[in-house]
């Protein structure tokens, strides 16, 4: 970035972020220092040289606060870089700042944050989706060219759909989780946000790959994702699972998805309707597995080593109780309680054990589907972005916002959301593509071809 571009970015963030609340940590001096240092380096330039990238607040950056948008981690500054951050720095990226999110990634609206909600740039009265709402809103509003989020049950794809940008959840094990503050360790994946499919491909090429610091990292070669995004779709087999088009799908979203399916057929892809019968169990399975793992992972936040500590505790036990009671928000407490319950003696087999068995059945549905097709096409969300505060008093309704995205996390498969239209009121609509494990190249091929034939990604919110 030239000095003029750097100052233009800083000015845009300072003007628009007060409206959006997308960035919760930003330093203009840090951006200037990084840009100057990158310009002074000699030798080959990395693939993201001078490109601004925003980081979700649950990814560790050495010397920069990482709070997971929670009071319990206020004041915590990581002493090391996550692997994805190391790779961004090696590629010459400029780290813009830290993005707002639902506390510990617990949410579908970016309202559960100790910093207050993020606003959707297409309609400031509506949510941007969650939990990576700050990352999606910032990219949509031009506060950063790229952003990182994390996806445990749809936390990249749902906000990408709500904000009209591209978001990808990679295959489980495709991107290192080292330095990601865990929500549910068997589900979490870091992934990219971008305005275009090819930009998302470039970011994934940079952050993907084996990492010995992450025991779940897969030793699978990184694909040629940018090259895949330039391919056509003639001959591609696309599956349409009927369970994703059941009652509750908004009529305008169905119309947009039907139009996308028709375009793929006209472009030479073959369309195959199929069934994934265990899809109906995805939400209950997810909210057992995810909350159980969250309860275990968040046990470490106790006021002893770092983060918030209650000041007026008389005993160690009081300190534990008061620190966690004061530090965690209502949604975090709800999920910790649910997770502790399903793991407790007498209930483990009935809930957590059975949930793992059904999770296997859901994965088997995907395995069978990919014997017939190369990728699946579904809506990303059942509705358009809803208004801030509309669902906060009804957690179950909020949880159902991720009904289209949860299965991919349970099965560990890659999934991409991209714009495929707008409602009559001007709100973005997202289309989801899913592929077999480590089939990200197929997603970029299918997404890139569709994007070249449409101009949805060129529309910008009127901020």
Q: What residues are labeled active site?
A: 56, 131, 155
User: Strand 94-99 relative to strand 237-241: parallel, antiparallel, unpaired?
Assistant: unpaired
- Other CB atoms within 10 A of residue 48 CB: 24
User: Running DSSP on this structure, what letter comes out for residue 37?
Assistant: H
Phi (first) and psi of residue 377, to 5 degrees: -125, 125
In whole angstroms, what is the distance from residue 112 CA to residue 176 CA? 26
* 447 backbone φψ class: left, alpha, beta (φ>0; ψ -120 to 50): alpha
In whole angstroms, what is the distance from residue 234 CA to residue 373 CA? 13
Q: Which run of H or E residues covers position 339? A: helix 330-343
Q: Which run of H or E residues covers position 431? A: strand 428-435
User: What does the angle CA 106 – CA 131 – CA 327 come to, to the nearest 5 degrees?
Assistant: 45
In whole angstroms, what is the distance from residue 92 CA to residue 106 CA? 32
Contact (CB, 8 A) for 130 and 123: no
- Exposure string for 167-186, b = 16+ CB within 10 A, e = fewer: bbbbbbbbbbbbbbbbbbeb
Beta bridge partners of 148: 55, 192
* Alpha-carbon separation of residue 229 from 5, 224, 340 (angstroms): 27, 9, 43
Among positive and negative, which fits the CA dihedral 172, 175, 176, 177? Answer: negative
Instruction: Give the residue among 303, 385, 293 at the shortest CA–CA distance from 106.
Output: 293
Contact (CB, 8 A) for 303 and 319: yes
């Amino acid at each position: 970035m030239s000095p003029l571009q750097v100052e233009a970015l800083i000015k845009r963030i300072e003007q628009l972020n007060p409206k959006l609340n997308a960035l919760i940590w930003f330093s203009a001096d840090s951006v200037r220092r990084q840009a100057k240092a990158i310009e002074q380096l000699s030798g080959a330039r990395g693939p993201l040289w001078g490109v601004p990238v925003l980081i979700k607040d649950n990814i560790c950056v050495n010397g920069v606060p990482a709070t997971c948008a929670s009071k319990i981690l206020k004041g915590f500054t990581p002493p090391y870089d996550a692997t994805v951050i190391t790779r961004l720095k090696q590629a010459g990226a400029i780290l813009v700042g830290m993005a707002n999110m639902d506390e510990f990634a617990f949410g579908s609206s970016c309202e559960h944050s100790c910093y207050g909600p993020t606003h959707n740039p297409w309609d400031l009265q509506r949510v941007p989706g969650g939990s990576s709402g700050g990352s999606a809103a910032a990219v949509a509003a031009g506060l950063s060219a790229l952003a990182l989020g994390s996806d445990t049950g749809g936390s990249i794809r749902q906000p990408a759909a709500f904000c009209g940008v591209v978001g990808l959840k990679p295959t489980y094990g495709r991107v290192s989780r080292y330095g990601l503050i865990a929500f549910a360790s068997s589900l979490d994946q870091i992934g990219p946000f971008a305005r275009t499919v090819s930009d998302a491909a470039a970011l994934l090429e940079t952050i993907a790959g084996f990492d010995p610091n992450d025991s779940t990292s897969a030793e699978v070669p990184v694909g040629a994702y940018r090259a895949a995004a330039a391919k056509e779709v003639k001959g591609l087999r696309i599956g349409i699972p009927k369970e994703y088009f059941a009652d509750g799908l908004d009529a305008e979203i169905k119309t947009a998805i039907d139009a996308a399916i028709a375009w793929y057929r006209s472009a030479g892809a073959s369309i195959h309707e199929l069934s994934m019968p265990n899809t109906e169990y995805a939400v209950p399975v997810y909210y057992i597995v995810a909350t159980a793992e969250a309860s275990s992972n968040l046990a470490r936040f106790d006021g002893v080593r770092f983060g918030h500590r209650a000041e007026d505790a008389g005993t160690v036990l009081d300190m534990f109780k008061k620190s966690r009671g004061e530090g965690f928000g209502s949604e975090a407490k709800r999920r910790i309680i649910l997770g502790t319950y399903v793991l407790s003696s007498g209930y483990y087999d009935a809930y957590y054990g059975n949930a793992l068995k059904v999770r296997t059945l859901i994965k088997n549905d995907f395995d069978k589907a990919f014997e017939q097709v190369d990728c699946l096409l579904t809506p990303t969300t059942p509705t358009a972005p809803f208004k801030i505060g509309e669902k906060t008093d009804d957690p179950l309704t909020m949880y159902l916002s991720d009904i289209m995205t949860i299965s991919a996390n349970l099965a560990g498969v890659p999934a991409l959301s991209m714009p495929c239209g707008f409602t009559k009121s001007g709100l973005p609509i997202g289309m989801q593509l899913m592929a077999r494990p480590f089939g990200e190249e197929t997603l970029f091929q299918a997404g890139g071809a569709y994007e070249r034939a449409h101009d949805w990604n060129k529309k910008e919110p009127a901020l």
